Amino acid sequence: MSNTAYYTEEGLKKLTDELNKLRTVDRPHISQQIADARDKGDLSENAEYHAAKEEQGLLEARIAKLEEVVANARIIDTSQVDTSRVYIHSRVMVRHVDNQSQREFIIVAESEADVRTGKISVTSPIGKGLLGKAMGEVAEVVTPAGTTRFEIIAISR
């Protein structure tokens, strides 16, 4: 299975900036904490040392994950997104079939998702339900709250 994820230039830049910060700022900081704790003596009963080592393990795991994501990332030129169907980076206006309320969503990669601004993950239940749908189609979305039906009323970039 491919781990390829599609990002805007802005989204990929945020990931690479975070990765660079973790490598150049956080990693040396934790190494210094470990060295300082080691200088305090007996490591078997040194809580500072063990906490710093645990923090280092979590940091290295985060760095490895981000390195994998960045290595598999592809930038999408949003001006080339097909608007006949819902794809990643589509802006979709939907009408809730039951209460006729309207919402706009932008389908984005998981790490770019921000519900407050209408950016939903392509892997979320709503994102999965909308993918591949054309204008006028109804998407049935299964969420923890139950099944919701959205009619696609507009697709744009």
Domain match, 14 and 64 both: yes
Residue 151's Cβ-count burial label (10 Å; 0-12, 13-18, 19+) is middle
Closest by CA position to 121, among listed 149, 148, 89: 89
CATH number assigned to the domain comprising residue 13: 1.10.287.180
Residues 124-157 have pLDDT tens digits of 999 999 999 999 999 998 888 889 999 999 998 8
Which pLDDT value is given to residue 8? 80
Choose one of 38, 58, 75: the last residue of a domain: 75
The 10s digit of each residue's pLDDT in 93-127 is 999 988 999 999 999 888 888 889 989 998 899 99
Compute the distance between CA of residue 157 and CA of residue 152 in angstroms, rounded to an integer: 14
| Boundary-marking domain end, from 75, 91, 118 | 75
For residue 117, give the CATH number of its domain: 3.10.50.30
Residues 58 and 112 in one domain: no
> How do residues 16-64 score in pLDDT, each as one tens digit?
999 999 999 999 999 999 888 888 777 777 888 888 999 999 999 999 9
Q: Rounded distance, CA 91 to CA 21, Å?
A: 31
Domain end call among 59, 75, 91: 75
Q: Report the domain count for the chain.
A: 2
Residues 65 and 130 in one domain: no
